[in-house]
Amino acid sequence: MRRWREWLCAESWAIILICVADLLTTIALLTKGLAEEGNPIMRYYLEYGLIPFALAKLVLVVAPVVIIEWGRRHRPRTVKTLARVGVMGYLMLYAGMFFTLNVPSIMTASRFDKEAVEMPAVTAEELWRERARLGKPIPPVPTHPGLQKQDTTQKGH
């Protein structure tokens, strides 16, 4: 039962598990359009797709785990205390970002889904107005050549 502790200490495992939970919930909410990435560094990687985003997330968690594991062999008490503070900080930061960025988006989406049963479909313009009301950035209006009004008058004949 203690075999897993031979590789990494409990604090390192906690950081890894929080990171994986963060990654999975973020990807699930992003793919459904219910979340935004709050971390500007991770938002940069997200622009390149979900795989680079996931790889960056996992690579960036390796550094603190390596530091914890190296440090606990030299100063176990100090590193254990600092690692626990780091775990608590990570949990508080994750919870704070989740509840300030994602929960309002989820609530707005659920409100629109509930109203969609009673009302006609919500237009993109209505969604953009709701995003503006919530102080979220408004995406540019998509332009599609097939959706633009075509000029049916002939010139010059």
Report yes or no: 18 and 64 within 8 Å, Cβ to Cβ: no
Give the number of C-alpha atoms closer than 13 A to the C-alpha of residue 93, restricted to the C-beta side.
13
Share of the chain above pLDDT 90, in %: 7
Q: Among 9-13, 93-97, 134-138, 142-146, where is mean pLDDT lowest?
A: 142-146
Average pLDDT over residues 50-66: 90
pLDDT for 113: 53
What does the buried/exposed string (b/e) look like for 15-31 if buried means 16 or more CB atoms within 10 Å of the residue's CB? bbebbeebbeebbebbe
Residues in the chain: 157
Q: Which of 16, 40, 60, 15 shows the shortest CA–CA distance to 101?
A: 40
Task: Supply the pTM of this predicted model.
Answer: 0.57
Q: Among 6-10, 30-34, 64-68, 113-117, where is mean pLDDT lowest?
A: 113-117
Average pLDDT over residues 124-145: 69
pLDDT for 116: 44
14 Cβ contact list (under 8 Å, min separation 6): 87
* pLDDT classification of 138: cutoffs 50, 70, 90: low
Which is more confident, 65 or 149? 65
* pLDDT classification of 117: cutoffs 50, 70, 90: very low
* pLDDT classification of 104: cutoffs 50, 70, 90: low
pLDDT for 55: 93
